[in-house]
Amino acid sequence: MPRLDRRQTLALIAAGTVGACAAPQTSPTVPDSSATFAHGVASGDPQSESVVLWTRVTSTSETEPVSWILARDPEFTDIVVQGETTASAAADHTVKVIPVGLAPGAIYYYRFTAAGETSPTGRTKTLPAGSLDRLGIALVSCSNYPFGHFNAYDAIARDAAIEVVLHTGDYIYEYGADSWGAETGASIGRLHEPVHEIVTLDDYRRRHAQYKTDAGSRAMHAAHPFIACWDDHESANNPWTGGAQNHQPETEGDWATRRAASIRAYYEWMPIREPDPGFSRAEFWRTYVFGDLATLVTLESRHTGRGQQVDYSVYYETITTPETRDAFMRDVMNDPARTMISPRMEATLAEGLAQSVAAGEPWRLIGNASPIARMLTPDVAALGIDAAKAPKGEAPGDGPNLFWKGKWNLPFYTDTWDGYPAAREAFYALSREAGAEDLLFLTGDSHSFWSNTVNDGEGRAMGLELGTAGVSSPGDFVESGWDAETAEKLDRVFAQSLDEVRWTDNFHQGYVRVVLTREKADVAFVAVDTVLLPTYRVATVREETVVRDGKTITFADG
């Protein structure tokens, strides 16, 4: 059976095990577009009295006059402010305006006009101030164009419980049209543009432009304000401060030049503010305060503080006994010189957490690009995973694979916080010093749903972690070629064997809805049944309730 059909079948089977899906969504909720505004509109990086409004004008002129308007109603009869700006080739004809003096917690509507055409209407909302009893967040990550339609984005646009979208990274992917996802992309007509791996500023701009033509993307951005942090694929797979796994200097040039191009294109094409004075664009972290209910701090863990990832292939021949395994974990993996975030990021985090605790807010949220819960690979062979069913590259002896990592109880990935345990302990120590032992991590990157508890190295509770599946990127076990039965068994093995993993699911694409109130957080893991077609159904594959227990937060049923 072709992979296209197989992935769709797996999604349908898995969704069917949790109850009936909603009625099919037959057409995206994207507003009418035009040739001039082919990439839609967006808003984001909200504060209590301002928000970024974004669009892009399709033009061949060096500059293009643009007018904009913000109103309290979608008919634009109650106008708040309007103005003129310019779309210039220097910024790839992207446009940002930031109206100020807005009312906290207020809904606004906006649109742009250029070249005699009017853009779709966008809806946005400022951050609330003062007393707040409810906040609805959509947690989303990993939108890969060739792997399928961004139906999760469209579902978020339709979700009446959502007030703000948090995207924790991999908003675009850097691969060429012949790389990861190419088979699926060819089957459904969604190959990457440009066709080669993106390296230059023009490349990154064209890739961002392609992603924003997706109907689901345009619908979501027009419906809700957007909060973003980046992960790796906005630049290249697995970057660190000195390079990236998917950057080859001998053929792709200087890493700093490529990274600067990716960051410039990101700032142009995303509804985000320029950095504060004294900060660089690479220092992309933010603090958002939602009234007296919650503070959200987004992390930058790629370009300003991260040490190089451990490469298992270097150590494969040397880890042969429990003693050599322990020495590897102590001296290599746990090297305190290998950090994840910069000192300036740590200062922002400490300040935000301390202020939240002092203000008596119930919730402290961390916008986190990659999983932080401990996931030391269980001995999958001893736990009944049949090596004979392993896909190519996973058989014992083929290198640092699942069976080898499980035999020695090594981190599942070295690119997540598991690969930087000393940095994780430093993060927890900083949080504890700020009085925050009740963190709620909102995490992306893994292409799987997660419901995790998190503890420091001494076993003291530090909070919980909610992880989202990809928008279209497939789960690792399914995509790497495990059959459906074994992939499902691997999910169970991880949840049953790992102390910090409560539940996981690598079968679906979708998002996580988190609705905060003062007493609890209602969590829904929302899946779409397919990304191979623009027509889809949604289903909630799991629900959780998070409650406060003294100075900690726990899942309601323990």
pLDDT in tens, 158-189: 999 999 999 999 999 999 999 999 999 999 99
Split at pLDDT 50, 70, 90, the class of 399 is low
- Residues with Cβ < 8 Å from 94, sequence gap 6 or more? 54, 55, 56, 87, 268, 269
pLDDT surpassing 70 at residue 12: no
Model confidence at 83: pLDDT above 50: yes
Pick the closest to residue 171 from 98, 75, 272, 94 (CA basis).
Answer: 272
Query: For residue 4, is pLDDT > 50?
Result: no
Q: d(Cα 167, Cα 280) in Å, to the nearest integer? A: 21
39: its two tokens: 């990439």
Fold type of domain 3-31+121-555? Purple Acid Phosphatase; chain A, domain 2 (3.60.21)
pLDDT at 25: 67
Question: Length of the chain in residues, anyone?
Answer: 558
**pLDDT, position 479:** 84
pLDDT at 2: 28
Model confidence, pTM: 0.95
Q: Quote the pLDDT of residue 88.
A: 98
Q: Residue 250: which H helix or E strand, with range?
A: helix 249-252
Cα separation, 9 vs 266, whole angstroms = 35
For residue 406, pLDDT over 80 is answered with yes
pLDDT over threshold 80, residue 546: yes
Q: Quick one: how many helices (H) and strands (E) in the chain?
A: 14, 24
- Tell me what pLDDT residue 445 has: 96
Q: How confident is the model at residue 33 (pLDDT cuts 50, 70, 90)?
A: low
- 316-329 pLDDT, tens digit per residue, is 999 999 999 999 99
Give the residues across from 467 on adjacent strands.
443, 450
Instruction: Tell me what pLDDT residue 10 has.
Output: 41
Find, among 226, 111, 73, 221, the residue nearest to 157 by Cα: 221
Nearest to residue 123, comparing CAs of 44, 237, 66? 44
More confident: 268 or 7: 268
Residue 447, amino acid: H
Is the confidence at residue 334, as pLDDT, over 60?
Answer: yes
Lowest mean per-residue pLDDT among 4-13, 431-440, 527-536 = 4-13
Q: Are strands 41-44 and 164-167 parallel, antiparallel or unpaired?
A: unpaired
pLDDT at 3: 31
Residue 244 pairs in a beta bridge with: 239
Distance CA 386, CA 473 (A): 26
Query: How does the average pLDDT of the chain come out, rounded?
Result: 93
The average pLDDT across 253-282 equals 97
Q: Which of 87, 57, 81, 56 is nearest to 68 (CA)?
A: 81
Where do runs of H (alpha helix) occur along 413-528?
A: 421-433, 476-479, 484-497
C-beta separation of 43 from 271 below 8 A: yes
> Among 46-55, 213-222, 476-485, whose mean pLDDT is lowest?
476-485
Tell me the pLDDT band of 388, cut-offs 50, 70 and 90.
Answer: confident
Domain ranges of the chain: 3-31+121-555, 32-120
List the structure tokens of 414. Answer: 């070295």
Cα distances from 429 to residues 174, 338, 423, 426, 458, in angstroms, run 35, 16, 10, 5, 11
Burial of 320 (0-12, 13-18, 19+ CB in 10 A): exposed
**473: which DSSP letter?**
P
Residues 490-513 pLDDT 10s = 999 999 999 999 999 999 999 999
CB-count burial class (<10 Å; 0-12, 13-18, 19+) for 85: middle
For domain 32-120, is the CATH number 2.60.40.380? yes
| 366, two tokens | 């961390």
Q: Is the peptide bond before 194 cis (omega within 30 degrees of 0)?
A: yes
Contact of 468 with 444, CB cutoff 8 Å: yes
pLDDT at position 209 is 98
Question: Which residues, including other chains, have CB under 8 Å from residue 63's CB and lie 6 or more apart?
Answer: 86, 87, 88, 89
d(CA 558, CA 546): 10
Over 155-214, what HEC string results? HHHHCCCCCEEEECCCCCCCCCCCCCCHHHHHHHCCCCCCCCCCCCHHHHHHHHHHHCCC
Cα 369 from Cα 322, distance rounded (Å)? 32
